[in-house]
Amino acid sequence: MNEENQKKEGINYFLGILISLLTGLFVGFIVGILFAPKPGKEIRKDIKDKSEEFVKKSKESVTDTIDKTKEFVEKGKSKFEEVKGKGKEIIEKGKEKVEELKEVITPKKENIEA
């Protein structure tokens, strides 16, 4: 469970950085356009075009991040199942060894008690 929480925290941390970065780029772009030597109509058109482009790229980035996160989670689940299966195998082998030892020890115990 702790490992799962760490993964969630890592994803949340990454998304926070990504959103902050994109927001900073967008705000910087808007400020740069507002101080550019262009007429008002051109600036407003540029802002509109770039805003639409920013939203489109942001959606693509978020979609890519979500896809990569889902892929990461699926890999984690399959790895967990693999380790879980190996653990069950080890436990079964251990039980078999205990039974073998029990079969060997029981006759010797009876000989000692007799």
Question: Which pLDDT value is given to residue 39?
Answer: 75
Give every CB contact of residue 1 below 8 A, 6+ residues apart in sequence. Answer: none
pLDDT per 10-residue tile (average), the chain, 114 residues: 65 78 84 74 82 86 86 88 90 89 76 66
Q: What's the confidence (pLDDT) of residue 47? A: 79
pLDDT of the residue at 8: 67
How far is residue 1's CA from residue 7's CA, in Å, rounded to a whole number? 10
Q: Supply the pLDDT for residue 114.
A: 58
Please give the pLDDT value at position 3.
67
State how far the Cα of 4 lies from the Cα of 23, in Å rounded to an integer. 28
Q: What is the pLDDT of residue 13?
A: 74
Any idea where the domains of the chain sit in the sequence?
2-85
